[in-house]
Copies of this chain bind each other. A is one copy, B any other.
Amino acid sequence: MSAPLKNDRFLRALMREPVDQTPVWMMRQAGRYLPEYRSTRAQAGDFMSLCKNAELACEVTIQPLERYPLDAAILFSDILTIPDAMDCGLYFEAGEGPRFERPVRSAKDIDALPLPDMADALSYVMDAVKTIRAELNGRVPLIGFSGSPWTLATYMIEGGGSKEYRYAKGLMYSDPGALHALLEKLAIAVTDYLNAQIAAGAQAVQIFDTWGGVLTEPAYHEFSLRYMQRIVDGLTRESDGRKVPVILFTKGGGAWLEHMAETGCDALGLDWTVDLGQCRARVGDRVALQGNLDPSVLFGSDERITAEVRRLLESFGPHPGHIFNLGHGINQHVDPARPATMMSAVQQISRELHAGSN
């Protein structure tokens, strides 16, 4: 039996239940902007060694909670663990981001891909989840996550990050059947992966569809949303007697929120380009919304940070169902003093808002 949850604001807001103040966490909150992270990472050696060491992954997951009044922790891991476990040969080149030794570019390559074994090649992730849950000891909920099938597929096909998605979109427009075969495998793998994280102790899960926004509307439906729908349908939705909420985040997907809300997920992540109040008007009676401060606001003055936090909170209004977050991961060059300003503004301003509505 796990320790009882001492702070459940995040889970309550995801279920659109009233809260005393708007819960807050930051995408990539365990990251390079924190000197203590850089120190642990140096100790681990390379990035994947840090991900694969449960004790160190737990340490960096907890680090931002020691600095800031965060309402959730997120598993420290990489978005590309699944393709790595499918034998694509993940490696990192200094300053270049992730690369794959064996990109997947044909129906034959895709047929040959093994489904990853959660109990073997990915067991280090579940070990990290268990270690973090034990260490958190009910302090805040732990979020598990995965990349979306389309997003994982882009890295596997391109062999790394991309600006133009020449090979991934080339496959989409020349051999869509092969791309579907890959996405089907990935949808199965992501479902298994997130269910294994939930079994290991994740209390909410987020699917990062980082590159869904580079698609046309029909292609988004056919090649990204369809497979996220399958995952939502296949997830364990309750654990420890409590609902396990699912958050979908398509960066650049602001035009498609209504369709995302129809999947049966509990919340949508929003990037900073959309107006939070308008999004609430569009879908806020169906799902919670998470976001959406421009991460670059954290390069601004304290006054400007507070003003932007106020703008967002007032735009959402005193309704339940908002989780404050950045619209994308925190930048590595941010001064660690700035998120503290942001979070104290969220606390103070949202308490006034929520008090006014009671």
| Known A166-B299, A311-B218; contact A304-B173, beta-carbon cutoff 8 A | yes
CB proximity of A337 to chain B, nearest CB, Å: 14
Q: Which of A294, A297, A299, A311 has the most CB of B within 10 A?
A: A299
Stretch in A48-56, A72-80, A229-237, A267-275 touching the partner: A267-275
Q: Which among B164, B173, B297 is the interface contact of A297 at CB below 8 angstroms?
A: B173
Q: Which of A4-12, A61-69, A209-217 lies at the interface with chain B?
A: A209-217
* Closest Cβ neighbor of A164 among chain B residues: B331
Q: Which residues of B contact A166 (CB under 8 A)?
A: 296, 299, 331, 333
Neighbouring B residues of A177 by C-beta, 8 Å: none
A151 smallest CB distance to B (angstroms): 16
A216-B273, A217-B275, A218-B311 given; A296·B174 CB < 8 A: no
Cα of A333 to Cα of B163 in the assembled complex, Å: 13
Question: Quick one: which of B170, B213, B218, B304 contacts A299, CB cutoff 8 A?
Answer: B170
A216 CB to nearest B CB, Å: 5
Given known A166-B296, A296-B166, contact A213–B273 (CB-CB < 8 A):
yes
Is the CB of A89 closer than 8 A to any CB of chain B?
Answer: no
A283 contacts B by Cβ under 8 Å: no
**A124 on the B face (CB < 8 A):** no
Complex Cα spacing A254 to B220, Å:
16
Is A317 at the interface (CB under 8 A from chain B)?
A: no
Cβ-closest chain B residue relative to A329: B164
Q: Are B219 and A294 in contact (CB under 8 A)?
A: yes
Question: B169–A299 contact, CB under 8 A?
Answer: yes
Q: Please report the C-alpha to C-alpha distance between residue A217 and residue B169 in the assembled complex, in whole angstroms.
A: 29
CB neighbours (8 Å) of A274 from chain B are 217, 255
The answer to the question of A344 belonging to the interface, with a C-beta cut-off of 8 Å to chain B, is no
A37 beta carbon closer than 8 Å to chain B: no
Bound CA span A299–B172, Å: 9
Chain B residues whose CB sits within 8 angstroms of the CB of A173 once the complex forms: 296-297, 299-301, 304-305, 308
Chain B residues with CB under 8 Å of A295's CB are 164
Residue A165, interface by CB 8 Å:
yes
* Chain B proximity mask over A295-324: 1 for CB below 8 Å, otherwise 0: 111011100110010010000000000000
Q: In whole angstroms, how far apart are the Cα atoms of A249 and B295 in the complex?
A: 25
Nearest CB of chain B from residue A269's CB, rounded to whole Å: 16
Given contacts A164-B331, A217-B274, whether A300 and B252 have CB atoms under 8 Å apart is: no
Q: With both chains docked as a complex, state the minimum distance between the C-beta of A253 and any C-beta of chain B, in angstroms.
A: 9
Whether the pair B331, A300 counts as a contact (CB closer than 8 A) is no
A169–B252 CB distance below 8 A: no
Cβ contact of A252, chosen from B164, B252, B304, cutoff 8 A: B252
Which residues 158-205 of A have a CB within 8 angstroms of B?
A: 164-166, 169-170, 172-174
Give 15 A-B pairs besides A173-B305, A216-B294, A252-B273 with Cβ atoms closer than 8 angstroms. A164-B295, A166-B296, A166-B333, A173-B296, A173-B299, A173-B301, A174-B300, A214-B273, A215-B273, A217-B274, A217-B275, A255-B255, A255-B273, A255-B274, A255-B275
Interface residues of A (CB under 8 A from B): 164-166, 169-170, 172-174, 213-219, 252, 254-255, 272-275, 294-297, 299-301, 304-305, 308, 311, 331, 333
